[in-house]
Chain A
């Protein structure tokens, strides 16, 4: 019994009038934890009662402390009839269980009722006394810190990244239990809220246990979602990245990145690259034999390229034909490296050794990286390898289905009655699972089955190479999650996952398992051993569920990993030639001879030593050290596809047949829009496909940038299929002109003027061919052929769009209809806008929801697309309008969530933050950048001394210090601090309510986070039976969202915080029935509660004073 929870109810205010006669309320409070309940006295006849109760003490297991929320119910005492509930407050006490987080919860909480919304406030004081439990077999995991932030939290240092953790729990949905027919909507909603709260707690505890097992102490990038599967139950699932974090002593380093630097500076220079890069000039001379790496590998194990075996079973590439031998040799390599670092001849390299990851990615192919749509007409999926692979799962599933269906015969087993069929399917899945389990048992023992990371931003040097986006989707039929532990519906004792025999409930786990396996194999195909920026999502409509997962294949620096976290282990990472951090991640990780998809490779425009693809798609944030030209912008691809209404298997089949085409089209759109903006890389790519009864919606959002290291994109060329037609010809010419104009305009708008463009890129894509040939002499002939091929391809050739029918014309029109952002605005869906570095303190987080009703019954795909595109565009336009007072400003982390709540409804929910920046200083960092870049290149033996000497002279200092300076600057330029202090002094001093800032980003500009207080994960249901009176659906939802914000702020303030970072709204599910005057809405939000103080910049005195103040005054923090 290792914990004592103490609660004190202080007072209430603004209570609603419960007694019409006296216009007053006789309020009392029930405090419940687990099965124990305490009550306060009744405070008669007051709307502002002062209970000042004694301390209510609960003695409980820490397991319960983690799972259960504290439940505070405010009631109105009634002598003659039942007491009326005023409302409830659920308080998650998890933050109190971690010594580093909050120590007390104290403050005003809104009293929330699922029917009436917020009804007054209550002041509660909560403390926990925790006793140490040394039991090794304990089920609790107190002390493991959770962060929603998808980067290393700002006041911590990552000592070790352990890897992927996941867990899911299932239960019956109270809304679908028989008892729901007789209980009130309020009771039903409360049961649901409580259940989800319990399940979240349990999930978090279990993940915590896994983390402890791995030896970590924190979960970063914690992403929890729930799937309301209706009849078939409720699934709460979470993924995250287990880490060991060390707290930085406050004030020592304002910024994690700078802190990381001493360690990572060398690492960031190290670059793992494909085999060809392994040939450092020095060795390249020796390696005259063109037989590929194996030979030199044996000869010079420490220095040359060694194809790392990603998995023993993987067929290896041509180059590394003797993969088994390699495998056995790798440990040796490491030893040598460790014991004799001196062997390195490479004079420039501060680090140990050469490293190579040539990849055996011959067979299967990842998707998304991007050159596939080079094809001019949509070919059938089979001709696009990436898509076939991507969709293998869903397609094969369908096959199974069909097979099963035919097996069942035509005995009228349709729809719901196809029970046996489902069973059959289940069996199949299970056997598949077993097989997998058996075959990969070795892998399982390896513990870190999935080298996935939910992080999207990394300490410098962590990310070595990025392969491209990998994603997998699968269409599943939902079935009731049989849950024997739930016999008693009244007690929500949750199913203990481990105790249940691997029966049906396993399916959800197995489904995700399959998807993850697929992602993993895609990553391998891209020559990568890890997946970063990983996320999972679902879309459910009736009994069909689309499971999606996506991430970015990457090669990571093992320095931060726990051994065995990645399949390759440390063995493969000998640090070879340093590669500039500003371009290293662009270099291809895969073997150029066995490219997983057709892509045009060129030499990096930055270092000119390694190959880069022509475009790069990723799901992560732009690495801080990356060299970027101009500014970025939000790029969205939107798509609607009609589908016949159907049931069960037929429906699933139809959906899985549509998916590949949707993915393809989204991809093509993205690519076209990227070209139109004259950019060459996408970051933060998020593709969402939502399923409705009669349509599928696809929305892909990303932030386009021009990476200096990648080649300039060619234009877009329009070609007609029927050259004879004169009018058509003319038409095409006009379109072509418009496109060219748009490209030119965009270049100007986003300030994309790559400096080298004119001299080198156009003339010869790879400058100084002499050096090049020297460098790569060791290449096999085929390799040379390939590069020749690249050249002959006329690398900058325009991207050709063919117009052969009206559809294509429509497509092009839609391409051009994207309105440019108004002057003064920028937008992106990543954390920060590439190209803007001088943020000022203005921050406005907002949530906006729009629902569009399609009244036209017979719509075409084209018509739908137009409607959907307009919806998104108009939404953006109204943001710009609303936020016009913040100009110059940038909308960051624009997160769109689309849904098809009903047959003819399209719902788009957006959460984002608008941040002001200093226009005059916007260019500051790029300048800094160039010196940094110069610096690192100086270290790199000055391959291009002529070009760089100017830079180099000024850049002899270590690049690490440069970077730290620049990152500091971009957080706090001096004037900003000043304007900020003015503002906060004037407007927020003396306010009785703590101002809590919220942002979906991991930081607040101009401030420094000094403490993380714990995770905020809240789930609310709101229902109304008087929709009209509340101002219709808009009024209803508006109030509800405002209430959710208020409750989040109140919880943060009670924890002593003054901001929420990494805030996100994971779910916003609205159901309405205007005819019945009813509506219901569910919202799930999460984030990290923090204390932040104004950045101490060059004005130590005032800001120091301020920090002291803020710290001292705790809850009423001035920021």
Chain B
């Protein structure tokens, strides 16, 4: 004795956001029913477990039927099969293309190829995200990537509305940026950083160091770093190669810092090392290989030494602010503009990446 068939079709398609999320998260029907029962829906409407199961199955079926449409969001708006109010459509797409931070953190900087897909199992095991959900996110990633790559012309105008939504939501762009430049993010030393940290840094890099950042004319999605700027960064080397300049810089910073922090002694002792580290990073960015290592370099050359000296975040702030500002007072240092453009990103990245 069993229910052989059980369907419910509304003229306006009924979709429960909670069940949708469970579906997206890759729960099986039975697990979803359990979660819902614990959530207390049953009391809400005097329902029984059977009712809940039937409803969950029905919703899952609806979502599966919708999934094909979600793959090309523009179709969802003018398909005829499901009557879904636009605000609901937006919700469906938004949630469908949402990413788990934990997942994205793992995929970050990896090459989007089939090879990675095999690793989804590992990622799933590592992050606790279900395989189904990993697969969806990964496929979405590739799907969006493909659309963006095929785009020609000004990014903002040509991008389909749904993609724009994703870009604005701040996930797609960093992902894309990281994938594009193949930033190294997987090293053990970088494990402590979350996706949010990287996303923030990516935002900083994009808005300050790319071509579009200067002339506001983003031609395409290749958020490429401004080559000219990278070349100019070599000029900053003078800060460490010129002995006078280095000393002068150091004394200016130390004067400003004296008495303001407990870590002053360490700062004074390490100044040359740290300064060398930061300037060298700048000087090497013309190499693609070194661009990839940007984050690892920041950690190794700057963050780790500071952390071993037990700087607080406030110390860090204080130090970097004065380090940046003092360079302007150096009369023989002519590259103020480049310096600022460089340091604004470095400062905010380090602030973000320096966890106490």
Contacts and interface: CB of A to CB of B under 8 A. Distances in A.
B8 A1033 contact: no
Contacts of B85: 987-988, 991, 995
Nearest to A1032: B5
Contacts of A992: 77-78
A990 B86 CA distance: 9
B214 interface: no
A995 to B, nearest CB: 7
Contacts of A850: 3, 5-7
A328 interface: no
Contacts of B65: 1035, 1038-1039, 1042
B228 interface: no
A997 B12 CA distance: 8
A855 B7 contact: no
A432 interface: no
Interface in A842-874: 844-856, 867, 874
Contacts of A1070: 5
A847 B12 CA distance: 11
A844 B11 contact: yes
Interface stretch (A200-208, A629-637, A875-883, A915-923): A875-883
A110 B81 CA distance: 8
Contacts of A14: 75, 79
Interface stretch (B39-47, B111-119, B233-241): B39-47
Contacts of B58: 882, 1038
Given A987-B87, A993-B80, A1045-B83, A878 B8 contact: yes
A477 B126 CA distance: 69
Nearest to A1063: B11
Contacts of B10: 844-846
Given A850-B3, A987-B85, A990-B86, A1038 B50 contact: no
Interface in A622-641: none
B48 A877 contact: yes
Interface in B313-342: none
A630 to B, nearest CB: 22
Contacts of A881: 45, 47, 51-52, 55
B12 A851 contact: no
Interface in B147-184: none
Interface string A316-358: 0000000000000000000000000000000000000000000
B215 interface: no
B317 to A, nearest CB: 45
Nearest to A877: B51
Interface residues of A, number: 60
A891 to B, nearest CB: 12
Interface residues of B, number: 42
A1033 B45 contact: no
B75 A855 contact: no
A516 interface: no
B57 interface: yes
Contacts of B7: 848-850, 1034, 1037-1038, 1041
A851 B5 contact: yes
A879 B7 CA distance: 11
B86 A998 contact: no
A555 interface: no
A905 B2 CA distance: 10
Contacts of A854: 1
B8 to A, nearest CB: 4
Contacts of A882: 8, 14, 55, 58
Contacts of A849: 5-7
A997 B44 CA distance: 28
B14 A844 contact: yes
Interface string A967-997: 0000000000000000000111011110111
Contacts of B248: none
Nearest to B45: A884
Interface in A904-920: 905, 907
B54 to A, nearest CB: 5
B81 A853 contact: no
B75 to A, nearest CB: 6
Given A884-B44, A884-B45, A998 B5 contact: no
Nearest to A850: B6
Interface in B32-84: 44-48, 50-52, 54-55, 57-58, 61-62, 64-65, 75, 77-83
B91 to A, nearest CB: 11
Nearest to B75: A14
Contacts of A380: none
B259 to A, nearest CB: 60
Nearest to A846: B10
Contact of B55 (A121, A878, A991): A878
A11 interface: no
A14 B77 CA distance: 12
Contact of A874 (B2, B51, B77): B51
A877 B44 CA distance: 13
Contact of A853 (B2, B11, B83): B2
A992 B61 CA distance: 25
Contact of A986 (B77, B79, B87): B87
Given A844-B14, A853-B1, A991-B86, A1034 B77 contact: no
B4 interface: yes
A1046 interface: yes
Contacts of B79: 14, 993
A1035 B79 CA distance: 19
Contacts of B47: 877-878, 880-881
B10 to A, nearest CB: 4
A992 B161 CA distance: 14
A819 B48 CA distance: 12
Contacts of A884: 44-45
A883 B14 CA distance: 9
A822 interface: yes
A118 interface: yes
Contacts of B88: 987
Interface in A1000-1055: 1031-1035, 1037-1039, 1041-1043, 1045-1046, 1049-1050
B217 interface: no
Given A844-B11, A993-B77, A997-B11, A1037 B5 contact: yes
Contact of A878 (B4, B51, B77): B51
Q: 5 closest Cβ contacts across the A-B interface? A: A851-B5, A846-B10, A987-B85, A1041-B9, A848-B8
Given A1032-B5, A1045-B83, 14 more contacts: A14-B79, A819-B46, A846-B11, A847-B9, A848-B9, A852-B2, A867-B1, A993-B77, A996-B83, A998-B11, A1031-B61, A1035-B65, A1042-B9, A1046-B81
26 contacts: A110-B80, A845-B11, A846-B14, A848-B8, A850-B7, A851-B5, A852-B4, A874-B54, A877-B47, A877-B48, A881-B52, A881-B55, A882-B55, A883-B14, A986-B87, A987-B86, A987-B87, A991-B77, A991-B86, A992-B78, A995-B83, A996-B11, A1034-B7, A1038-B61, A1041-B9, A1046-B80
